[in-house]
Amino acid sequence: MAWRQRDYWLTVYKRTWRGSVVSSFVTPLLYVLAMGVLLGGFIEADPDQLDGATTYLAFVAPGLVAAQTMQLVVGETTYPVMSMVKWQKIAFGMTATPLGARDVVNGHLGFICFRVALTSAVFLAVLAPFGVFASVAGAVGAFLVQLLIGLAFATPVYGLSAGLKDESAYALVFRLGVIPMFLFSGAFFPISNLSPALETLARFTPLWHGVDLTRMLMLGTLDGPRALVHVAYLAVIAVAGYLWACRRLERRLRS
């Protein structure tokens, strides 16, 4: 049933893709040039202090890829979901057909996965000439990890949005969730530089798990047991968030 929504989501993308070019493709490239190339030129890289990276660019690039996935997904599951439920009421129209709430969620998540896949593929392709990949397999693995990171953020935020009565809570989502994780989850510096309490807190954030897993794959420093912990952590959040999102949307459409 989710596949039957492809025409709708294709139309949405055709009408909105131009507005996402800068945020999805240009901004990440500028971050790489500013943080990795320019700032990185002033940083002496020590693999023992940069999680095995031989340059600061090689360290920061995986973090930027994972952080970009988080930002993209949160943007797609906040105001767009609110619009579908409250303002345009598209979700009500969809469920007036044989589609159910779960089908609506599946279709939207499918569109989000498409956005993540396209954006991540372009981002990783842009990074390729900089020599930040230890192997092709690592690059492919990092790409697949972005889909898992995307779902780990998309499903719980979707569930939150599906049940909100207004958009005021989004200020807290971005100020207390997205921005702190972007800055302090290991994307720009090792979390060991944080205080013990903040380091422990950072290790419980899904972005840190995504950043660390992406970095291990891109640098060729994969630690099997630690990678499995990352995958399991992100998968549990994705599954739990999905069940919550379906339940919240169904209740909202019935109210």
CA nearest to 13, candidates 76, 78, 93, 102: 76
Mean pLDDT of the chain: 90
d(CA 106, CA 100) in angstroms, rounded, equals: 10
What is the percent of the chain where pLDDT is above 90? 69
Q: Inter-axis angle of helices 136-163 and 206-219, to 10 degrees?
A: 170
Q: Which residue has the higher pLDDT, 138 or 36?
A: 138
Residue 47: its pLDDT value, please?
A: 67
Give the mean pLDDT of 26-39: 77
Rounded average pLDDT over 74-84: 94
Tell me, what's the pLDDT at 132? 87
Residue 63: pLDDT band with limits 50, 70, 90? very high
103-155: per-residue pLDDT in tens?
Answer: 999 999 999 999 999 999 988 988 888 888 999 999 999 999 999 999 999 99
Q: Where in the chain are the domains?
A: 2-254
Rounded CA gap, 48 and 191, in Å? 14
pLDDT of amino acid 34: 81
Task: Supply 226's token pair.
Answer: 């630690």
Taking the model in full, what pTM does it have? 0.92
- pLDDT tens-place string over residues 202-218: 999 999 999 999 999 99
Sequence-separated (6 or more) residues with CB below 8 Å from residue 99: 1, 4, 5, 107
Cα 112 to the chain's mean position, in Å? 10
Between 10-19, 77-86, 116-125, 233-242, the lowest mean confidence (pLDDT) is in 10-19
Q: Average pLDDT in the 80-86 region?
A: 93
Residue 184 scores a pLDDT above 70 = yes
Angle of helix 224-254 relative to helix 101-127, nearest 10 degrees, comes to 140
Q: Identify the pLDDT of residue 139.
A: 94
pLDDT at 174 over 90: yes
CA distance 43 to 106: 44
Query: What pLDDT, on a 0 to 100 scale, did the predictor assign at position 19?
Result: 75
Q: What is the mean pLDDT of residues 227-234?
A: 97
| pLDDT for position 203 | 95
How is residue 44 written in tokens? 């002496």
Predicted confidence band at 162 (pLDDT cuts at 50, 70, 90)? very high
The pLDDT score that the predictor gives to residue 56 is 85
Q: How confident is the model at residue 48 (pLDDT cuts 50, 70, 90)?
A: low
> What does the pLDDT read at residue 243?
97
